[in-house]
Structure 1
Amino acid sequence: MKLRFSISNQLTKLCKLDFPRLTDANGENPGVQPVVTNSVQCGWQFHVVRDELCWLVFAMESYSRYSIVMPYVLKPDWNEIARDFDALWLEHMLAWFRMGGFVRTDAQIAEVVRQFNTKPVAECHRNLDMSINGHLADAKLWLEAYKRDVKPRLFDSEHAWHFCEMLNQETKRVNKQRRKSAEFVPFERFLYDNLYRYAKGLCDGATPGAKEGDFPNPHKQEPDLRLV
């Protein structure tokens, strides 16, 4: 599996990064390429917003539009962001796995952690996927609404967790389409994608088209899973 991080211009400037620009197959249109998640690749878009008292780094996964938000009072460097993101990705993933009843024992959790830690080193590019950028803009509006309602003195990691929990349960639409079939919920897609990648051998029941013990590939079919 490939892991690809797309880093916005704002974040590369903040962290003084010298990543290459992402181009199309012909080496053209640099820096505005789609970030793809599929059966063999996982893509995340990173962006930064300057808040009143801190920097807020947003990471949004391509397929699910699942968001992870990381607040920093002091200006972060990229190594710190990447380290925090890796820990939060795993923490968010395990929270949904447990809530859905897909992992229930310490041994199962340890196996998920082991599989997660075998993922490849991310390929990093200076790039902004414009379709994801629209969802990032929506997320910033939700953030402003959250701060108006909650009135946090400082938007810290605890507030970031609660905000992400709320944001990732909001229904989204594929390309703003109005069809019911175009609707999806980020946490559900995030859950199915990560079960497929990092919970191999832990599925209790047989799933058509999947190896025994594995969860279905959501990029080939609609997963028939039920949250319990």
Structure 2
Amino acid sequence: MQLQISASNALNKWLKADLPRLPAELGKQAGVNKLHSSSNTMSWQVHILDNRHQSMERTLIVCEAYSRFIYFIPLNRAFLTLDELSERLKIEWQFAFVEALETQGLVSRYDIAIMLSKLNDIEFTPYWIKNTDLSINGHISDAAQWVTQTLEDRNLDRLNQPLAFEISSYINSQTKSVKVGSKKQRFIPIERLLAYVQQITQPNPASNDMSNVVPFRR
């Protein structure tokens, strides 16, 4: 299964990488393609945030395309190569996913263990692109405000991992909306990611794109 990782311009610059772009969509500029997750591809938008102005402390903000599920990777002045970051992204979304599931009590620990076992059987192959999905960018901007405001309120230079999980679990339990056609549909990210993971871990998952399948919530 392809793990498509879409780096923002800021992250691409930080990585000092020369990443490919997706082919430009008809009538649109290059580098702003919409991302989609399916049974064959799991897509993530990734952005790097300076914790403070001219700070050496940074945070990665990672958002899944279908569910808008967000998690954070505190970098703590570390510089990661593309390969090192790929390895972290392959596994750390699962840590944040499990933390959110347990916080919300959506499934039992037994069911979580079964899902993780099935995910472990999937070979996630990273594929990097330079792209910013503008429909996801607003969610990332909101998450960035949560990070900077939390650090300011608590007089911290960086997030520790428990605090990163705490913020992301809260964000992922809040109702979000996406525009599908002429209508807005609402959903909760952790519930939507759970549905997606359940779909891709089925013995013979459907091959269709899930981007427009949204559980509507009042």
Quote the Cα distance in structure 2 between the aligned partners of 1:85 and 1:101. Answer: 23
Give deviations 1:118-157, integer Å, cap 9, x for gaps. Answer: 2331221111111111111111122233334444353222
Q: Is 1:100–2:106 an aligned residue pair?
A: yes
For residues 23-79 of structure 1, give each alpha carbon's deviation from its aligned partner in whole angstroms, at most 9, with x where no partner exists.
236797321111111343221001101113511111100111111111112242223
Match of 1:45 in 2: 45
Partner of 1:192: 195
> In the superposition, relative to structure 1, how do residues 182 and 16 fare at CA in structure 2: closer, same or farther (>3 Å)?
same
Q: SS in structure 2 opposite 1:14? A: helix
Q: Which runs of 5+ in 2 are unaligned?
A: none
Q: Which residue of 1 aligns with 2:73?
A: 70
How far off its partner does 1:102 sit?
A: 4.8
Contact 1:45–1:62 (Cα < 8 Å) also in 2: yes
Higher relative contact order (CA 8 A, sep 6+): 2
Aligned residue type for 1:134: G
1:32 equivalent in structure 2: 32
Residue 104 of structure 1 aligns to a residue whose secondary structure is helix
How many residues matched? 207
| Cα distance, 1:146–1:74 mapped onto 2, change above 3 Å | closer
Query: What CA deviation, in whole Å up to 9, does each residue of 1:146-176 have, x standing for no partner?
Result: 3344443532222211111111112111149
Say if 1:74 and 1:142 are closer, same or farther in 2 by CA, change over 3 A: closer
RMSD of aligned residue pairs (Cα, Å): 3.4
Q: Secondary structure of the residue that 2:110 maps to in structure 1? A: coil
Mapped partners of 2:85, 2:9: distance in 1: 15
TM-score by length of 2: 0.78
Distance in structure 2 (CA, Å) of the matches to 1:110 and 1:170 = 26
1:152 aligns with 2:156: yes
What is the TM-score with the length of structure 1 in the denominator? 0.75
| 5+ long unaligned stretches in structure 1 | 202-210, 224-228
Q: Which moved more, 1:153-162 or 1:2-11?
A: 153-162
Provide the residue aligned with 1:85 in structure 2. 89
Work out which of the two has the higher radius of gyration on C-alpha atoms and give 1 or 2.
Answer: 1
Is the 2:61–2:143 Cα contact (8 Å) retained in structure 1? no
